[in-house]
Structure 1
């Protein structure tokens, strides 16, 4: 089952780790790794993260209450139990069976199987095998030491997004306001969590594999606001009108409000459209994908995901006819990143819009959160986004067609030539 963007999964929180990420967010998914210590039927989980642009208590609340900073049971406690879930059956495993060396080796295997070196090219199978031999050549006396070894091992990859999560840095969310989230997408769960200011949301949380299930009633302090601003502007000669749409971020309201704007502008007589993605750092990738589909023909490719593991290799296409077919300009700059770059390249490569402005930021990696046997985890870069024209976004950005807004006659000609080349 695909887990990067499209899985139906459960939800994990990563509040503490949000502060460790750079301003340009990775896209995060999660699942349990099939190591030799694990049953192949381990369930999969989807990790939400504040800086993945999805949602976290850091975004939802003005100041998270202390009860939300939840700790898993101490790994050093002799009474700690670790649970394996196999087709609904919970098996308790004594902590002494989860060795320190085994935890390190499990993390090593995850990188060996799934890591995509999309940056400094420090990873190779031979190098990584030697790393394992060096690490496991001596005993690892404590669990804390094992976690330190994993941190150093991951740091050696030179990837700022691949990192270790301690057991205290993630709790599994089971339901929101009584609605089970298993089987729901990140997009759907984000919508459930959001609501009017000062209303309450009840969140059911499970701590660790065997921890207790608790419910928290939390007052919303920050509401999701529309990221869409639009207006109708006349073209210079007055013969036509332009529908200008500013999209500040891709949150749970982006697609719905974009549809409203596009329909209103089209009904008001817009002959052309300008989609302004300048300074849009991204947000919900799925929201960006759904926004791009509004401009594309059925069957057009939105983006590709690629990775060493086949489950991270996917082609995402538009399923319906476009909402508008008028020529369009997409405005971009060096702070157009992540989901915004996916949208911009989807419209550009399918000859639906020209890009105007400055080269985009270049952020197109996919991370997964793999839970280890002791309740800790590792975030690993497992894939990247590739444009419909098979260009690697990450580290490159996208060069616009024009540095400044051209005449609409030039836009129309550019798109016509583009379509002729596609057909040829």
Structure 2
């Protein structure tokens, strides 16, 4: 079973150049088309491929790096673990050996272990156990019938974001790989309390899989740089690089080795979501950098940084970040973008869920890259990762919100692959803003409906900061 959570990050690309002509910012904002909502089944965090890419190929790791990861002779329990892993791989690669009842039971167990029910009248452990007994008492003679049963089970939960994916749908979703090499990394604690970076899932026939990387492998280095002690985001950022270039990774197969150096060719398919321009206001005395972010894909953070630095170089002293009609995308991108504006130690968002790994506070680890006054534009189609960014900046007194109440999508989904190649998308947690507002179903109210004067916005931010200080 493969599991994908929702997060990822940057890569290089060319940004939309600033237009040669300039209009009044207010007129430009009011004239932007209002796009209809996109598919809302997973506006925020469908796939969490936790992936990223970086520089071109470096030489193969020096022998000293390889020797650091030399594994000890395999003990009997290691051989047993590897044997179990081989058996699981054979099972996964032979879906015809999986019975219809086993597929239904597998889907039931995923929900039973991970689902965060927001409607107590529709979900309880007792009612879900009864559901299992009911569905497994029926005849499941065909795989199609098993899939229909799973669909009905999930629909009974009353959660529009928890749903079944056919093998074709799962395969299509999995192809939205933004790492370029087709891996999903996860931080896994070991017996000594240290964190290892494990390959939690792979895109079948993707670059990493074809090169020999397998589920359960531990990532040890990227282009000769040891990833020990690095976060998932940091390690994945090291994988970043242009499409068709090579990246060298070192992995340890299974829990006990062996260690293998693998060269993988990146396959990046992503377009910049950033458009920017410089606006002159107050008869040219005030320069405002306008940045529109259409979605949170693998290029969002890097291209946003590039755009804002260019606008700063052009003299921008204020910024407008337009998140209208941005339905989200990769949640980790939103988190990392919010951190660009926050002070060290400030909270980006809180997460809550049934499992311990889904209950935590996410904070900024370093100081802000940008400190200029900021206005964030939002509307009814500003959802998920966009709401995380908007509330993080607003609640930490870094931005004022202008526009309409946001959509109100604050749930976290994970995508689980079943053993026959189908999948289930399951709500596993929710987001809570730094000011402890439950986003889901509520949305976020703006400070202003129309763009205020800049001195008014600056005064509001200053007052907010004094109150918090």
Q: Would the TM-score normalized by the shorter structure come out above 0.5?
A: yes
Instruction: Choose the corresponding residue for 2:204, options 172, 194, 205.
Output: 172
Counterpart-to-counterpart distance in 2, 1:292 and 1:179: 36
Contact (CA 8 Å) 2:241, 2:266: kept in 1 or not? no
In 1, the alpha carbon distance for the partners of 2:236 and 2:212 equals 9
TM-superposed deviation, 1:253: 2.3
CA distance in 2 between partners of 1:383 and 1:311 (Å): 10
C-alpha distance 133-29 of structure 1, shift in aligned 2 (>3 A) = same
In the alignment, the residues of structure 2 paired with residue 115 and residue 193 of structure 1 have an alpha-carbon distance, to the nearest angstrom, of 32
Cα drift, residue 404 of structure 1 = 0.7
Query: TM-score normalized by structure 2?
Result: 0.63
Corresponding residue of 1:25: 43
The separation in 1 between residues aligned to 2:370 and 2:267, in whole angstroms, is 39
Query: What whole-Å deviation, never above 9, does each CA across 1:135-173 have from its counterpart, x for those lacking one?
Result: 233443444433322221112112222222344543525
Paired residue for 2:129? 129
Relative to structure 2, which stretch is displaced further, 278-287 or 225-234?
225-234
Task: Name 2:442's counterpart in structure 1.
Answer: 396
Match of 1:293 in 2: 339
TM normalised by structure 1 equals 0.69
Query: Could you tell me whether the CA contact under 8 Å between 2:353 and 2:429 is conserved in 1?
Result: yes
Q: CA deviation at 1:394?
A: 2.0
Q: Is residue 358 of structure 1 aligned with residue 358 of structure 2?
A: no
Cα-Cα RMSD: 4.0
Cα distance in 1 for partners of 2:316, 2:272 equals 22
Structure 1 373/189 Cα, relative in aligned 2: closer, same or farther at 3 Å? same
* Structure 2 unaligned residues grouped into runs of 5+: 10-37, 53-79, 172-202, 223-231, 247-264
In 2: Cα distance, 1:119 partner to 1:405 partner: 37
> Are the counterparts in 2 of residues 21 and 161 from structure 1 also a CA contact under 8 Å?
no
Encode CA deviations 1:327-354: one digit per residue, 9 max, x unaligned: 2111111122222111111110111000
Structure with larger RCO (C-alpha < 8 A, sep 6+): 2
Q: Deviations over 1:192-236 (max 9, x none)?
A: 89967xx799xxxxxxxxxxxxxxx9998xx64433233333342
Secondary structure of the residue aligned to 2:149 is helix
Partner of 1:262: 308
In 1: Cα distance, 2:50 partner to 2:373 partner: 38
Q: Contact 1:190–1:252 at 8 Å: present in 2 too?
A: no
Aligned residue number for residue 417 of structure 1: 463
- Cross-structure match for 1:160: 160
DSSP 3-state at the match of 1:132: helix
Q: CA deviation at 1:409?
A: 2.2
Deviation at 1:47, TM superposition (A): 9.1
Please state whether the residue corresponding to 1:90 is helix, strand or coil.
Answer: helix
**Alignment CA distance shift 1:290-1:339 (3 Å):** same
How many Å apart are 1:248 and its aligned residue?
A: 2.2
Q: 1:120: Cα distance to partner? A: 8.3
